[in-house]
Structure 1
Amino acid sequence: MTTRRADYPCVLPGDPTWIHDARYVQDILNSLAAAAAIAHDHGDPEKYVLPHLPYQVAADTLGQIRSDMPPARPGVLFLMPLPAFQLEALWQALDVLRRAQDADADTDQVLDLVHDYATHCLLPPRSIDDVVTDTERILAVPSLDTPAVRTVATTLLLKGEHDDGFRSPRDELLDTWRAAGIKP
C-alpha cells in the first residue's frame, strides 16, 4: 500500500537498480519542467498542466535519491529523509503522466513531449505506459508506508536491536519489494 505522508525517513533497498535504471524518468521530468517554464513565459501557464516547479522538484528529487544512494549492497536497508513536498511533487507529476496515459485532452502537450522523448531519445524506445509504470515503481519505494516500514525505520533510527521484532518486519518489507519487481 502506498500513501502520501508527512516527512518521515524513507526506507530504501540496498540495490539501487530500482532508481538508477530509471534515469530516463528524471530526464523526462526535466524536459517537462523546461517546457512548462517556456510555456509560462509565453503566456500559456497551463499548457503542460502543472507549472514548471513541481516537475523540477520531482526531477531533482529523483536525482537526489540517485546520487545519495550508496554503492549496491543487496539485502541492506538504507534510511533517507525526504520532505513531504518532494514526494508530493513526484505524486503530482505521476498524476499528470497518468492523465496523459488516459488521453485526457488537457494533457495533449504532455503526451506529445513524453512520446517524442521516450520514442526518439531512448534505446530501447518506451511508451507512455512504460513511463507511468516505471514512475509508479520508483515512487512506490519511498512512499511505502506500512507498519513494517515504520518498525524498520524506527529501529534503524534508534539503532535498536536487530532481533525478531526487527527481522520479521524487515523480511516483510523485502518481500513487498520483491513482489513489486524491485530487487532489495
Structure 2
Amino acid sequence: MGDRRLWQVHVALQRARDGEPDAAGLGEPVREAGDDCHLPRTADDFVDRLNRALTVLLLDIPAVRTLATTLALQTPQDTHVQAAYEQIRAACTTAGIS
C-alpha cells in the first residue's frame, strides 16, 4: 500500500509542476515544506528527486534494500554500505539512468 501512495504523491507533484488547474493548490504547501525542512523548494525539485528515488527503488536489487535500511535506521555507514552504493550506481549506469 505504501508504494501506491508514493506513486500518488509523485503523480500529484508532476501535475502541480505541469500547471494542471486541479493541482495548483499543491504549490504553496510544497514551498512551505521546503522552507520548514530545508528541502527543495519547487515542485520541479521534488519531482526530480522523487523520480531518482523511485528509479532506484524499482531496481529491486539487494543493494537497494541495504542502502534503504541504512538510511532509514540511520546506522553508521561502513564498507558494506559503500559497496551497496557502488552496486546501485553500476545498475543505474547499465540501465541508462543518470
TM range (shorter): 0.5 to 0.7
Residue 115 (str. 1) matches residue 48 (str. 2): no
Q: Is the 8 A contact 1:87 1:143 kept in 2?
A: no
Residue 136 (str. 1) matches residue 65 (str. 2): no
* Cα deviation digits, residues 103-126 of structure 1 (max 9, x gap): 1100121122112332x3344753
* Cα deviation digits, residues 23-82 of structure 1 (max 9, x gap): xxxxxxxxxxxxxxxxxxxxxxxxxxxxxxxxxxxxxxxxxxxxxxxxxxxxxxxxxxxx
- CA offset at residue 88 of structure 1? 1.4
Instruction: List gaps (5 residues or longer) in structure 1.
Output: 1-84, 154-170
Per the normalisation by structure 2, the TM-score is: 0.57
The structure 1 residue matched to 2:19, chosen from 97, 103, 121, is: 103
Higher strand share: 1
1 or 2 for the larger relative contact order (CA 8 Å, sep ≥6)?
1
SS at match of 1:121: helix
Q: Is the 8 A contact 1:96 1:107 kept in 2?
A: yes
1: CA distance, partners of 2:54 / 2:39: 22
The alignment-based identity, stated in percent, is 27
Q: Is the 8 A contact 2:27 2:43 kept in 1?
A: yes
For residue 27 of structure 1, what is the aligned residue in structure 2?
none
2:43 alignment partner AA: I
2: CA distance, partners of 1:173 / 1:87: 20
1:92 alignment partner AA: Q
Tell which structure's C-alpha radius of gyration is larger. 1
* Cα deviation digits, residues 115-162 of structure 1 (max 9, x gap): 2332x33447532211111111111122236xxx4xx69xxxxxxxxx
2: CA distance, partners of 1:110 / 1:117: 11
Q: How many residues align?
A: 74
1: CA distance, partners of 2:54 / 2:42: 18
Task: Let me know the Cα RMSD of the aligned residues.
Answer: 3.0
Per the normalisation by structure 1, the TM-score is: 0.33
